[in-house]
Amino acid sequence: MTFGERLKELREDKGLKQHEIADILGVGRPTIAGYETKGKQADHDKLKILADYFNVSIDYLLGRTDVKNPDNNKIETKSSRNLNLSGLPNEAIEEVEKYIELIKLKYRQDNKNKK
């Protein structure tokens, strides 16, 4: 995917309009349209703002990796071990995160029932 395709996908996933991203970056809406459809490239400062806003890496924005945020691919466990989820598609990582939340909920309820 190109930078423009990634930007458009991230923007639409958040339900944002081009003018809203333009406001965040301090540019005009046509600039965002140029990024998304005409192959124009954002400068480094704008890439940093977008990466922080969408919680993705600059490499993801530029299409150099399909991992949105490599730091989010490790889940800290209670025993201080990391589960390395790199290489898994984002859909699988989301499933693992949901399962962990389900297990937490189960054990919270179990502890309440024991009292």
| Average pLDDT in the chain | 83
75: Cβ–Cβ under 8 A, 6 or more apart, which residues?
82, 83, 85, 96, 97, 100
| DSSP states of 22-36 | HHHHTS-HHHHHHHH
Residue 109's pLDDT band (boundaries 50, 70, 90)?
low
Give pTM, 2 decimals: 0.61
- How far is the C-alpha of 40 from the C-alpha of 18, rounded, in Å? 15
Report the pLDDT value the prediction gives residue 79, as an integer from 0 to 100.
Answer: 42
Report the pLDDT value the prediction gives residue 65, as an integer from 0 to 100.
Answer: 85
Going by C-alpha positions, the residue among 56, 6, 55, 52 that lies closest to residue 32 is 6
What is the mean predicted confidence (pLDDT) over 25-48?
A: 94
Report the pLDDT value the prediction gives residue 77, as an integer from 0 to 100.
Answer: 47
More confident residue, 77 or 32: 32
What is the mean predicted confidence (pLDDT) over 5-29?
A: 93
Domains and CATH numbers, the chain: 3-67 (1.10.260.40), 71-114 (no CATH)
- How far is the C-alpha of 10 from the C-alpha of 52, rounded, in Å? 12
Task: Determine what percent of the chain is predicted with pLDDT higher than 90.
Answer: 47
What is the mean predicted confidence (pLDDT) over 77-99?
A: 72
